Amino acid sequence: MEIFFQVLIDGLVIGAFYSLIALGYTMVYGIIKLLNFAHGDLYMIGAFVGFTLLSLFTGDGGVNTGILGLGVVFIGTMIIVGFLGMGIERIAYRPLLLAPRLSILITAIGVSLSLEYSSMIGWGASYKVYPIKLPNDGIQLLGTQISFAQMGMIVLSALLMLGLRLFIDKTIYGKAMRAIALDQTACSLMGVNVHRIIALTFFIGAFLAAGAGIMSGIYYGTINFLMGFTIGLKAFTAAVLGGIGNITGAMLGGLVLGILEAFGTFYMGGSWKDVLAFGILILFLVFKPTGILGAKEMERM
Amino acid sequence: MKPLLKLTDVNSYYGKIHALNNINIEIYEGEIVALLGSNGAGKSTTLKTISSIIRPKSGQIEWNGKNIVGVPPHKIVESGIIHIPEGRRIFSGLTIIENLELGAFTFRKDKKWIKEGIERSFDLFPRLKERSKQLAGTLSGGEQQMLAISRGLMGNPKLLMLDEPSMGLAPIIVQEIMRIIKEINEQGTTILLIEQNAKAALRLANRGYLIEIGNIVMHDSAEVLREDDKIIKAYLGA
């Protein structure tokens, strides 16, 4: 039973990362029907920008930055990467919005490679050790040791997702996002600056992915310029699992995938981890392509 | 008197199709102007060109004396021209209230305007009030048109352009919609109306334009158009 909870907590933390990244996938897909394959790399950039900011704070020494310093690093990184996401939309995707879907999809792959290899040039090809050490202490719950760091990550992820849900449901900009996903032209005719709302969507997606990036840097301890590749595909899996285009679906899909993976790894061994995740993707694509909460198109004339 | 909206020699293309050919239209404040013509004549293209969804190849569109060609659609809405598109285009996955709120997007900081506007919409169409929290996609066709009109009014139009508001609706609903359009006009909003139902349109309008294959072939007061042989034969049914 102890082990069960240990695995569950581990799955929750990883699942929260997947969820945060899957949200960006699903929001961008919802609004402009683009599978933004560069999205996983924004998570990587988030980890690196966080790495650089933390290094400035701690002078590479692994000194405890304190909660306040950590908060500044988180917010600063998420905003910087958010603007990067917006810039990518402006430069790479917006000129192609009216082009065939394939052009923009291939561009996304190009953006992904550009981000990866410019990061390699900027930060180097080797693994970097994250310049922060979080205390291992925590609490005993149901016979399992849960560290404060794990709890903090789960809580922070939950808050970010709750904040996003409220933003989408309650603010006029969130409503405009949902409306653009349904009918762009009608939105223009309501006085909505559609391009600006699309840019905002990219900002939020990148913002959340960057948050996940720093957390994973802290959680795993090392980062690398290719770290966004596999996790990007996993987050895509999570988005499909929950129902692509569906915000709650992405959150749920991420958590389900994280937990399944954690248990799969525990019972079958780590080498089966990716097989399990992508096996699930294939099963869903074949048997339930709309995902767990897939949008049922509702229309009535 | 100067026209509120003036189109001078406007040419618009739909891909390679020359959809509007040197169109000239003038609309004066307080009027109801009907734009008549058969399917594919260029009526919707005219409205889309005015609301900047389509950019004309040449010509001028003056709004309050200022050329608005090339101004992005959301700025056109801000300036007081609101286009209720063909097929209603309500946001089916959003609630009725949310649809109305989006109609007031240009007034998004003005909570009072939004609240009052929603109340006004419900006074105009009490049926919407009963369903205010439902998804707009669950409404009947007539109710969707009512929502589309209310949503348009939320943006406080000086000129309201309606594209086939009676399409696919039962005659009794059409009457109600026409009555409401009249009422909106009496409260000071200028109206540009596209209608297949030329009879209903000419009963309502002060003036009308007849458009055929991208050309304005006739324009006159509604009384004259109602009596015109050509119009009677082609659009009113003898």
A25 burial (CB, 10 Å; 0-12 / 13-18 / 19+) is: buried
Q: Is B73 on the interface with A (CB under 8 A)?
A: yes
Q: Which residues of chain B have pLDDT under 50?
A: 238
Residue A263 within a domain: no
Averaged pLDDT score across all residues of chain A: 90
What is the residue extent of each domain of chain B?
1-80+159-164+190-238
Assigned token pair, A159: 């808050």
H helical segments located in chain B: 43-50, 73-78, 96-103, 111-124, 126-130, 141-153, 171-186, 198-204, 222-227, 229-231
Residue of B73, B94, B108 lying closest to A189 (CB–CB): B73
> For residue B149, what is the nearest residue in chain A, using CA coordinates?
A190
User: May I ask the CATH architecture of the domain B1-80+159-164+190-238?
Assistant: 3-Layer(aba) Sandwich (3.40)
pLDDT confidence of residue A300: 33
Q: How far is B143 from chain A (nearest CA, A)?
A: 11
**Greatest pairwise CA separation for chain A in angstroms:** 65
Residue A29 within a domain: no
pLDDT confidence of residue A298: 36
B114 burial (CB, 10 Å; 0-12 / 13-18 / 19+) is: buried
Number of structural domains in chain A: 1
| Whole-number Å distance between alpha carbons of A54 and A72 | 9
Residues whose CB falls within 8 Å of the CB of residue A137, separated by 6 or more in sequence, listed in order: A147, A148
Q: Is B92 on the interface with A (CB under 8 A)?
A: yes
Residue A184 within a domain: yes
Chain B residues with beta carbon closer than 8 angstroms to that of A178: 91, 93-94, 98
| Model confidence, pTM | 0.91
Mark which residues 161-220 of A lie under 8 Å from B by CB.
172, 175-176, 178-179, 182-183, 185-194
Between the CA of residue A151 and those of A138, A139, A146, B176, what are the distances in Å?
A: 9, 10, 7, 60
The complex's ipTM?
0.92
pLDDT digits (tens, 9 = 90+) for A143-188: 778 888 889 999 999 999 999 999 999 999 999 999 999 999 999 9
Q: Is B110 on the interface with A (CB under 8 A)?
A: no
Mean pLDDT in residue range A91-120: 94
pLDDT confidence of residue A260: 93
Contact B94 A178 (CB under 8 A): yes
Name the amino acid, one letter, at A105: L
Mean pLDDT in residue range A199-224: 96
Place of tokens 């009030």: B129
